[in-house]
Each structure stands twice: as structure tokens, then as C-alpha cells.
Structure 1
């Protein structure tokens, strides 16, 4: 009977995805109650190890704090000037929770470097292999990395969905599903190495970042991160809407594929798997800045600290801004992300969903 129910739920998931593709719908929310209410008893936040000690992360500039590997010594020092203009969210997790942090993220990265014809770092080719090499190292500088107490987090996709990749169709033989598959494949490798506690940070609301925003929301043409945008499309509204749909589609797939892989396919036996809904958190900051931003300047979610110039040389003024530049969140936004991460692990999070896998 349970196998029949599982099969039925999987068919519903496939039907939902197909329906979205055929109708052009970017979200699958209408299917949520029908599909996953029976699985809610396994979605306990306290299934994450609340006494966790280390935290290992993989990703791009949204997460990069400097070092690329840690043994026998870190490849470089921790950076206080990151994509936020200050410290990155993982550094604040280290401060708030007092944990050992191993951050393998590198600015400009893709999940798979093949997704772009440009030469980039890849989680698949570089970051996960660096981590595996570090875990094999024995001696001074070895990782403090007990598998059952460590949370392994991936936040990737800002570049994969951006220009020079899927947004501009640079690999016509691939689809966005290849990017999604790549993400789960990296969790596969970590699982085989011994990891059991996973966190997937979904895509940020990139359509609110000035690089992709609507004109009335501060959208710009020719961001420093996309200098030849005009050769692709000069219609800022079309660019913004395309990114909004891409992000919504990927996050919907994450929402439905993750519990399917964890609880129906049992892809990761005896594990916990959390989706940190950064998209909803950052969207809430955008819609309700007064609840999150606390700087001395007028609150601003459409422009950037870089555009503010000398008026934002005082760090207290910067805390009024959601964005550091046209693509990256501000340091204050990253503090909020870190606070929510810690709350999720402590079982008090608002923006997350956790599933536990049955035994093998």
C-alpha cells in the first residue's frame, strides 16, 4: 500500500512539472497540499543536529569568504571584503554559533563549469574535490569534520542561470534540468563520502537585484556583471520577467524533487535534508525593509551601496541597503541570512522545510 501511495505521489509530481511546462506556469503551488501533506510527520526541524559543530559550504560569490581549501593550511586568509562589501553570511554563522567553518565557495562559480564556455570554477570539478582531498588529509591542520555533526550546504545558481550560461543559451544542448541534476549529484558525492545532514539554499529573488529588476524597481541595463547586455536584449522588462520565471521554476522543482528524492526514492538513506528558502526571506526583506534593515540612511531595496558612494562610507548608513551592488546582497542582508540559518538549525526557523529519510 505504501509503495502504491509513493508511486501515486511521484506521478503527481511529474504531472505538476509537465503542467507547468505546457501552460507556462512558473510555480507549482497548487499541488503542494495534495502531494506532501502525508509526508509532513517526517519534516521535523529537530532532525537537524542542533549540537552541530562544523559547517561546510559550497557555492559562488554569494558564499565565498576567501579560502578554497584548508589542508595542510588554508589557501588564503579569511576575507573581510567579500561580495557584500564586508563579511559574508557564513562568517556570521561562525560568529553567532561558534562553529568550525569550511567554506569552499569561489566567486564566479557554476555547479558544473561546462555550463559556461568561459573558464570558471565548478563545484563539481573544483570545490567538492578540494573538500574530499581535505577530508583525506591526516596531520596538523586536519578538518574537524565529524560526519554526523556537520551540516553540508550548497548555494549555487546565480551564475548558472545568468549571462554566459543558461540565460543566454550558451549551451543549446543543455536545459535548466541539467543544472538541477548537477546540484543533487554533488549531494550524492558528499553522501557517499559520509555526509548525512544536508542543506540546499534555493535561488535568491534575482529579479529584485538591480541587474535584473524591472525599470520601476531600479533595474539597470549594462550591469558591470553583464556589460554586453544590450547585444542580447535592451528591454529591461523582458529580461526581468525571464529571470523571475527561471528562478520560480527552479525553486518549484527543488520544493517537489527534494522530498521525492529523500522520502520516496530514498536517495540519501538515514539523512536529513533541509531547503533554506532564501528566496522567500529575501523577498520579505524587499517587501518589508523596515523589519530587517536598520541603518541611518533611508531604507533602500532598489538601489545599491556602491551607487550611494561617499554618502555610504559610514558603515551604519550601509545597513539601510538590501544590495551591495547590482547583483550581490549587502552585509546587512547577509547578517539576516546567517541569523535565519542559525534559527533553522536550532529548530526555530521560519523560512525552511526539513525532511528525514527512512533507513536503508
Structure 2
């Protein structure tokens, strides 16, 4: 006869195993993925902001998955928080997705579909939080709450599988580094060291706020599977260990870029600038395509990791919260 104590232990172990199995999507479950975000994810045009195919195009091939790209270059989470004249997630991308869903143009099985959300670069950057050109009273807190609200709105519409990608270490981009120069993105006077330090703090705080919000939210959404993808850690590792990721024919380069355009102080960005462009296979030696965007090679290795997550396999950069 089995004692009650043994039964309780066995029951507890079974509950732990069952809970562990329930985390994340199952191998082979996902057939489709829908993207929301900015130029880091926008696959709607070619060449994209990285000079070639953006990472979702590669991830769709690696899966294989069916890609439905709603991300648009220049976007913020909400123009009510940080305004830019581009299609934001809340006021354009989600309505576009819901319109196609409700009118039957887009019919996706929620169990076979995963949604990626990667936003924040433009919210935190120039003409937004970094330079103070935002709606009065707006801070990093509501900006990152907005990203979590995107997930909640999609869940309410029937979506069940999600990947929330954290903000990359923007202080490692050329635009926001302490050694930055006037570029196509900003030619006005600035203290580059101050910018770099401020951006580093914005990113770290924003990512922590998002993670805490997600950890609190996950248990309240029955049937949802939410992964937190550590883009910050991934890009930091590419920067620190480029030999594990870059494979071009030129010396590996994480501080310069493929398409570099230097401007004079206060020069109009309608001018061509003094540009240097790496060609051919040398491009795969670079982490960055230009002063703000990552390269094709970085996009490919990022796509490989996210495709791994969507396939229900282990990635060191993803943590399933539910």
C-alpha cells in the first residue's frame, strides 16, 4: 500500500513536470508568424533597412513558416506617446491586422500562429525620449507599458502565442555610441558621451520594466504562451564575440558599418554626405549596416535564433514565461 505522503510527493512531481511541458510552444506547432515593430523587423520592402532581406524573411525560410509582416519602418509603439510620422503599432499596425482578420482576408489558426513584438528603438531615440521631443509627461514607463499592451490587445483578439523581443543595446550602435559622428540620422551638436550613457540607462530600465510587466501578466492569460527574447543579450554577445557570428572576408568589425556616411556639423541630411560602402563578401564581416541598423549577417543569425524558438526548440536567448 502506497502511503499518503508518497502519493503527495508523486503528485507534486507530476504537477511540476506537467507545468514544465506546458511552457512554450510544441515542436512543429507553429506554421505562421505575424510581426509588429519598426525598421528592425519591417520586411515589406527590399532592400530593407539592413541593406537586404530583414530577419523575418530569413526566419520564414529557416522554419519554414508563413510570414505576415505588419512591422513598418520608423514606427513607435504609439504616436500618442512618442510621435513620429510613420505607422505606429497601436494606431496603425494592430488596426490593419484586425481589419484583415475581421473581414476574412487573413484567417490564421491561433494555435499555429505566433506573434513577434519588437519595438522601442524609435521611442527611445532621437526626436523622442532621448532628445525630449515627446508628449509632455511621457517617460520610459508608459512607453514600455505600451509594448505589453500590444500583447494584451492581440490576446483579446484571439492570439495565443507570443515572442516579446527586448530592446538591443543601442549605445553599441554608431549613432548612440560615445564615438559617434554627424550622420544621416543626426547632424546637430550633441554630447556623444552623454547620449551614450543616457541611452544605455533608458534601454536597461525599459527592458527591466517590460520583463517585470510580462512576468506579472503571463499567469493572467489562460492558454497563452509568452516568450521573452533577450535581444539585448544576443546583440551584446555579437559585439563581444563577433567570431561566433560574423563570417565575411574583411577583418571583423563591430564599431564601424557597411554603409557609413559622415556629415559636417549641422549639414542638411538631404546632402549626400561623405560615404564609404563595403562591397561583396566583406559586408558579412560587419555587425552594423549603417549608423543605426544591423547588417544582413546579423539579421541572418538573429533569424536563426528566433526560428529556433518558434520551432519549439531551445535557444539560450529565449525564456518562456508561460
In the superposition, the TM-score normalised over structure 1's length comes to 0.77
Pair member with larger Rg: 2
Alignment of 1:1-360 (within 5 A): 47-50=24-27, 51-66=29-44, 79-138=45-104, 142-170=105-133, 171-215=135-179, 220-228=180-188, 230=189, 234-263=190-219, 266=220, 268-307=221-260, 312-314=278-280, 316-345=281-310, 346-356=312-322
> 1:104: Cα distance to partner?
0.4
8 A contact 2:130–2:195 mirrored in 1: no
- Point out where structure 1 has 5 or more consecutive residues left out of the alignment: 1-38, 67-78
8 A contact 1:45–1:353 mirrored in 2: no
Q: Which residue of 2 aligns with 1:30?
A: none
> 1:59: Cα distance to partner?
0.3
CA–CA distance in 2 between the matches of 1:46 and 1:60?
Answer: 28
Deviating 4+ runs (over 4 angstroms): 39-46, 308-311
1:25-76 CA distances to partner (integer Å, 9 max, x unpaired)? xxxxxxxxxxxxxx9995668622432011001000001111xxxxxxxxxx
**Structure with the higher fraction of residues in helix conformation:** 1
CA–CA distance in 2 between the matches of 1:175 and 1:326?
Answer: 25
CA-based RMSD: 2.0
> 1:245: Cα distance to partner?
0.7
- Point out where structure 2 has 5 or more consecutive residues left out of the alignment: 1-15, 262-274
Secondary structure of 1:185's counterpart equals: helix
